[in-house]
Amino acid sequence: MSVRPARLLDAPALAAIQQDCWRQLYGPVWPALAEQLASGPVAGTWGEAIALADASTESPYHVMAALDAGEKVVGFAALAPSFDADSEPGCSELVALFVSPECQREGHASRLVSAVAAVGRAGTVKRLVCWVYDQDYMRQRFLKQLGFGADGSTRTWQTPAGDLINEARWGTRLDLPG
C-alpha cells in the first residue's frame, strides 16, 4: 500500500471513488442528491485537476492517489489554496479526501493526509483546512485523531431539492513542530 501523485490515467478511478463515497455519505439522507452528484461528469474534472497539479513543481495544487497492494487506486486526496475570505497567507484546503467504501479503515486516508501535509510543508503551507458535513461523524473523529479541530467557521449550501447541508471548517497547523 502506497501513495503517489495522481496521474491523468487515474481520473476515471478517482471519479468512481468520489461517486461511490457520495452515495455512501448522502444516499441515506438525500438519495436524489447522491445520485445527482454521482452521475455528473466528474472524471473530466479530476483530469483537469491532475493536469493543473502536474503543470509545475511549484504548483499549489496537488492530487495524491492511494494504492492497494496490487497497485489499484483505492483513494485520493486533493490540495488547493484556500479561497475562504478569512484565509491567512499559507493556508491550503484539503478539497477532497475519498477512499473506496470497500477499502475504508485500512489506513489509506491517514496515508493520504500525511502525504498532502508533507507536500504542503515542502511548499509554503502553514495551515491545512477542510470543510466537513456536520453529520459526517466518522470524518470528524478521523480528523480529530490527526490533530484537526473545528475552527468555528461554518457554511451552508442548498441542494436542488431545497434541503440545507451544513458544513464546519476544520483545520490544523503544519508549521508547528511535533
Give the start-to-end residue ranges of the domains of the chain: 2-173
The pLDDT value given to residue 45:
80
- pLDDT tens track for 31-72: 776 666 656 666 668 888 888 886 566 778 899 999 998 899
Q: What CATH number was assigned to the domain covering residues 2-173? A: 3.40.630.30
What rounded mean pLDDT belongs to the chain?
87
- CA trace torsion 51, 56, 60, 66 (10° rounding): 50
Here the cell at position 126 is: 502553514
| Residue scoring higher pLDDT (25 or 13) | 13
Reported confidence tier of residue 113, pLDDT bands at 50, 70, 90: very high
The pLDDT value given to residue 127:
95
Dist. CA 178–CA 165, nearest whole Å: 35
If phi over 0 gives left and psi between -120 and 50 gives alpha, with beta otherwise, what is residue 83? Answer: alpha
- The one-letter amino acid code at 71 reads E
